[in-house]
Amino acid sequence: MPEDEKNWRILVLAGPTASGKTAAAIELARRFDGEIVSADSVQVYRHLDIGSAKPTCAERALVPHHCIDLIEPDAAYSVGEYQRAALASIAGIRARGRFPIVAGGTGLYLRSLTHGLFDGPAADWAFRDRCNAEEDAVPGTLHTRLAQVDPETAGRLHPHDRIRLIRALEVWDKTRIPLSEHHRKDASRAAPCESLIFVINPPREVLQARIRIRVREMLAAGFTDEVRDLLERYGSGVRSLSSVGYREVAACLRGELPREQLEEAIVHAHEKYVKQQRTWFRDFPGQVLSAADLPTEEIARWIGMIHE
């Protein structure tokens, strides 16, 4: 990585779905003359607006947002591509004399900025689909398999952390080198950004209530129509439509899920995803504060340490 792309100072607001990251990022950006870089793997897709809780036009009018609406729903997109787009956005923000605030809940996206990116094999979606099917059939299969080829990585991953288990198995399948060994070889790599990291993690019952309200608002705002239009334009095989919430609405539109069960199914899918996010962020390295709610005054005090 070029020297001028190293040690950029950024604020990172991480946390699970519905933890209040967007509102807090906007408040802090307005206070510190900042711009927001999204770290959300669904918001990168155009037209996936309601179900991804994408910032509204009014919110974007208050503060510039980046890394949103980058690609079409049927396009493939990697963590490496996100990293390049985010770093380019951060460079532009700094060139304008403004403060970069990265906010989102996609752990791999965030880590690519705060700790660098292991340049591993490209995603093999067929392999991942097989792994998902195996885990659906026999829960715990992926963790058991990984323990056989990479016990070190398996030891630090929760058996339910499907995303990272699959990636570790994928790296082994393609390189025949354990992910833990790749990381050891890569440990000396300089991180792209000097990051002040806050993980916001409200109590379980608080998030559950917020998720239910959010889902009801999404459905009232036309979430079903949004998915229907996407299916008509891009077809049912588009991977972006397997995202949380979109998958359930698509199943309802196909007649596989009764309409009266749709809200509960979306809520349950979000709660399941939040569990995965909590596992990811529990051990997220480098965080200076993990709080039950977003203490913006405390964050403002910390910002003074890095804000130029």
In this structure, what token pair is assigned to residue 74? 């049927």
pLDDT, position 307: 55
- Residues 86 and 256: their CA atoms lie apart, in Å, by 38
Cβ partners under 8 Å of residue 106, min gap 6: 39, 40, 41
- The one-character DSSP state at 261 is G
> Taking the CA of residue 244 as centre, how many other CA atoms within 13 Å lie in the half-sphere pointing to its CB?
25
Residues 32-58: pLDDT tens digits? Answer: 899 999 999 999 999 999 999 999 999
Report the Cα 281 to chain-centroid distance in Å.
11
The pTM assigned to this predicted structure is 0.81
Return the bridge partners of 290, or none: 199
Q: Is residue 188 pLDDT above 60, yes or no? A: no
pLDDT per position as a tens digit, 107-137: 889 988 988 877 678 888 899 999 999 999 9
- Which residue's entry shows tokens 């036309």? 222
Higher pLDDT: 286 or 156? It is 156
* pLDDT in the model for residue 287: 72
Domains of the chain by start residue, with CATH: 3-120+192-203+283-306 (3.40.50.300), 125-183 (1.10.20.140), 205-274 (1.10.287.890)
Q: In the chain, which ranges are E strands? A: 8-14, 34-38, 65-66, 99-104, 193-200, 287-291
